Amino acid sequence: MWLSDTQKIGVGLTAFGCALIGLGVVLFFDAGLIAIGNILFLAGMSMIIGVQKTFYFFTRRDKIRGSIAFFAGFCLVLIKWSIVGIIVEAFGFLNLFGDFFPVAINFLRSLPIIGRFLSLPGIRQVVDRIGGYPSQYPV
């Protein structure tokens, strides 16, 4: 599958937005970096899948709780409550994109070096739990 130029720019904006959010968290929850990262993440996502599909994604009935939490966290970051805002945003992000984790983990397991790392004994159980896979060894 080939990406259009707009989608390539969207991937770059999304990655740069995630990097700025991470940098903002590392730099003691800097509200400015986190806010710019959020804006770039949303802009990149709308460029990847389109504005109409992005709007539909955030307003779907089964995703409304995550959307409210994500945007409430974004507003909290804007009023300089960075720590609380990023926690609320993380809750919303997990509710919005939680269904995508098994797909991402399967993709990462198919990569040569990362796949071997994810198959190591201690790491495999953690990754299986995050991905929602049933455990091989019942506890």
Give the tens place of pLDDT for each residue, 14-41.
Answer: 999 999 999 999 999 999 999 999 999 9
Give the span between the Cα atoms of 27 and 9, in whole angstroms: 26
Listing DSSP states for the chain in one string gives -PPPHHHHHHHHHHHHHHHHHHHHHHTT--HHHHHHHHHHHHHHHHHHH-HHHHHHHHH-GGGHHHHHHHHHHHHHHHTT-HHHHHHHHHHHHHHHHGGGHHHHHHHHHHSHHHHHHHTSHHHHHHHHHHHTPPPSS--
As a whole number, mean pLDDT of residues 108-120 equals 89
pLDDT in tens, 41-100: 999 999 999 999 999 999 999 999 999 999 999 999 999 999 999 999 999 999 999 888
pTM: 0.81
Residue 77 has φ and ψ, to the nearest 5°, of -65, -40
Q: Which residue has the tokens 């999304």?
A: 14
Whole-number Cα distances in Å, 10 to 51, 108, 128: 11, 21, 30
pLDDT of the residue at 74: 96
